[in-house]
């Protein structure tokens, strides 16, 4: 992969919801199309970051980690950032730790302390290989010339998650927010001034009561992107409700994620009018 000194490259490894597509139990048209090897195949959400100045950074490590690393052609992963400790975002950690054991190496796992605490409860045996590196949400983590800010967001009936804002001193900024809904004004504030927002949206228009939901739908996601002034938005964490063969009439600044999608974020920001 080639990239300039002034950009970050984001590769979408997975863009599905917690059950992926196809869902094992489901015979809907979208799941059957995916089952036949079609365009709607979705593995659990994760991204892979590259800059010119630092080793790649994995963001989330779900149950499809092995497939995602094989697709990348990667044999060693040195560091990761976690949004929260739900299985669809951490289900690959045990396999990653075991890979480190066989390679006789260690890797670093970055996340706010409460996320790492939850990870430790679920996988108490992996800490010797995946070394915990707590992030202070009041502070910043640096990656390849970009600063990373973590903040807690509402995940509806599923509790909480963390979102991450990546910002360059030259003015470029983007954010990864795969699991959120009904954000407060203070939770929306770090989404301002973005060239790219990667946002989780399971449905196009979710018909269920708000108290039973855990993610924005696409229509709400478009409204949120407009509200915060994001230049572009990519929707991830998609359920089998979304059929990419269908034209949803998205504006030209909005897209659905797909496996292998490559997004290049410049260090300097331009603005969508």
What is the Cα–Cα distance from 127 to 65, expressed in whole angstroms? 18
Residue in 262, 255, 251 with CA at minimum distance from that of residue 236: 255
CATH of 7-266, one of 3.40.50.10860, 1.10.10.10, 3.40.50.300, 3.60.15.10: 3.60.15.10
- Alpha carbon distance 127, 201 (integer Å): 32
pLDDT, residue 263, reads 98
Do 217 and 203 form a contact (C-beta atoms < 8 A)?
A: yes
Q: Give pLDDT, residue 1.
A: 59
Sequence-distant (≥ 6) Cβ neighbours of residue 95 within 8 angstroms: 65, 66
Residue 16, helix vs strand vs coil: strand
Residue 246 dihedral angles phi and psi, to the nearest 5°: -95, 145
Strands (E), 53-159: 54-59, 79-81, 107-112, 130-135, 141-143, 146-154
Low-confidence ranges of the chain (pLDDT < 70): 1-5, 269-273
The pLDDT score that the predictor gives to residue 138 is 82
CA nearest to 192, candidates 170, 165, 218, 223: 165
Write the Ramachandran bin of 229: left for phi over 0, alpha for psi from -120 to 50, otherwise beta.
left
* Predicted pLDDT of residue 273: 46
Kindly list the domain boundaries of the chain, sorted by start residue: 7-266
What pLDDT does 6 receive?
A: 74
3-state SS class at 241: coil
Strands 173-177 and 196-200: parallel
């Amino acid at each position: 992969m080639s990239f300039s000194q002034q950009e970050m490259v984001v590769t979408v490894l997975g863009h599905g919801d917690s059950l992926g597509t196809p869902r094992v139990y489901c015979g809907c048209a979208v799941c059957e199309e995916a089952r036949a090897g079609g365009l709607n195949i979705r593995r659990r959400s994760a991204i892979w970051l590259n800059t010119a100045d630092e080793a790649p950074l994995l963001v989330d490590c779900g149950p499809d980690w092995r497939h995602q690393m094989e697709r990348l052609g990667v044999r060693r992963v040195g560091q990761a950032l976690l949004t929260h400790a739900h299985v669809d975002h951490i289900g690959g950690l045990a396999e990653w730790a075991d890979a480190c054991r066989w390679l006789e190496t260690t890797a670093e796992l970055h996340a706010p302390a409460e996320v790492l605490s939850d990870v430790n409860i679920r996988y108490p045996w992996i800490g010797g290989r995946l070394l915990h590196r707590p992030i202070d949400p009041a502070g910043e983590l640096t990656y390849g010339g970009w600063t990373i800010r973590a903040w807690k967001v509402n995940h509806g009936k599923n509790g909480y998650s963390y979102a991450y804002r990546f910002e360059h001193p030259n003015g470029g900024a983007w954010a990864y927010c795969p699991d959120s809904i009904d954000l407060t004004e203070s939770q929306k504030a770090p989404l301002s001034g973005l060239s790219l927002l990667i946002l989780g949206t399971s449905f196009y228009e979710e018909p269920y009561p708000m108290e039973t939901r855990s993610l924005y739908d696409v229509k709400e996601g478009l409204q949120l992107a407009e509200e915060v002034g994001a230049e572009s938005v990519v929707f991830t964490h998609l359920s089998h409700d979304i059929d990419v063969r269908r034209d949803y009439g998205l504006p030209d600044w909005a897209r659905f994620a797909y496996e292998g999608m490559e997004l290049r974020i410049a260090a300097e920001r331009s603005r969508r009018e």
